[in-house]
Structure 1
Amino acid sequence: MQIDASIVAEGLGLAPSLLREEMRAGRITSLAERGVDGDSGRHRLTFFSEHRRFRVVFDETGTIIQRSAVDFGNSALPKSVRKISG
């Protein structure tokens, strides 16, 4: 599943050019998950920066059906937020 960089940049509160730099440097990471059972056909992409988590859920056609972001302000992203439960 692919997502436009501008959507991810907006979700993380960054300029698209900075997003690419941060990803290359390993300061922004991501997790891709595929739905099972009742969520079959859905995909969830989660992006992590130092202070923010951005998550997007797609349906089987690639349409975004949900977006969410958690911003921890000046605090670092807690390790527990980086753990995704399935």
Structure 2
Amino acid sequence: MYSNNHNPIYIDNKSDIKVVRGGSWKDVSYFLQIGARDWQRKDSCYSYVGFRCVASFLGTEVNANTPNPNKDLPFKTKWKNFKGKFKREKKKSL
């Protein structure tokens, strides 16, 4: 049992599991969103679970005249440069 002035009584529910939020380098793209949730045992630790930092892109900006090396890749989603920000293209209907 834990006690302090803000929350006088805290009782641990003794659950053996913890919530893991977001994805990691080992997950498929669905789990990379911040809203993705999963669980793990509290006494476990893995190299792919932990704190992440985000930084601004440090590369050079691509303009419209620069050839796109990824345009012929077999991915379903392609990205384009839109006023300095990358925007997802809508999939064209057949």
Same fold (TM > 0.5): no
Report the TM-score, using the length of structure 2 for normalisation.
0.20
More strand by share: 1
Higher helix share: 1
Give TM-score, length-normalised by structure 1: 0.21
Higher Cα radius of gyration: 2
Q: Which has the higher contact order (CA 8 A, sep 6+)?
A: 1
